[in-house]
């Protein structure tokens, strides 16, 4: 019975990828059309985004744009943002075994190509570094290129 409940919850989470206005829908629509994805952090496969969400790891930011600031927490305090006085993330994607998490913050897309303006990039980086310090996040992560796929059954996903 517990497996059935978990399966129902996972199906409901997957359905939210296609519900307009949800954070999971934004993950899907802002992802590259052909993101990197796989069953491990190497993300060696390239698949259409509708298929990539079926893999536990996928590329969520498009090349040349950052739409999500993602923080890799190598500790079990997924709610540390409350203690740090930071705004709530849009998504918390937690490893069911270790308790380690990725916190997803949706931002207006920032162009990061060579043709981009430098001030928005510098501002985004400053925000990222300040948040990472207060969240005690992995400073080598830098929002990817691949992250835990929100809504995948391997992870416990919370939309806030």
For the chain, domain boundaries: 2-159
Q: Compute the half-sphere exposure of residue 139: CA atoms within 13 Å on the CB side of its CA.
A: 6
Per-residue pLDDT, 42: 85
Integer Rg of the chain from CA? 15
Residue 59: strand pairing partners: 146
Q: Contact at 8 Å (CB) between 36 and 146?
A: yes
For the chain, give the number of residues. 160
- pLDDT-derived band at 4, boundaries 50, 70, 90: very low
- What is the mean predicted confidence (pLDDT) over 15-21? 78
- What is the mean predicted confidence (pLDDT) over 118-134? 96
Closest-CA residue to 144 (of 45, 13, 33, 37)? 37
- Greater pLDDT, 155 or 18: 155
Q: Which residue has the tokens 């835990």?
A: 148
Rounded distance, CA 48 to CA 59, Å?
Answer: 11
């Amino acid at each position: 019975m517990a497996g059935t409940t978990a399966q129902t919850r996972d199906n409901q989470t997957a359905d939210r990828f296609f519900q307009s206005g949800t954070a999971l829908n934004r993950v899907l629509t802002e992802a590259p059309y052909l993101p990197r994805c796989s069953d491990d952090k190497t993300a060696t496969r390239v698949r259409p985004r509708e298929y990539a969400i079926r893999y536990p790891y996928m590329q969520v930011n498009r090349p040349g744009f950052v739409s999500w600031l993602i923080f890799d927490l190598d500790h079990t305090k997924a709610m540390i943002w409350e203690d740090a006085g930071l705004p709530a993330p849009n998504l918390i994607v937690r490893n069911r075994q270790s308790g380690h998490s990725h916190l997803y913050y949706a931002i207006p897309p920032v162009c990061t190509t060579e043709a981009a303006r430098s001030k928005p990039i510098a501002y985004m980086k400053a925000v990222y570094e300040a948040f990472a310090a207060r969240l005690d996040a992995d400073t080598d992560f830098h929002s990817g290129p691949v992250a835990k796929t929100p809504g995948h059954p391997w992870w416990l996903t919370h939309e806030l």
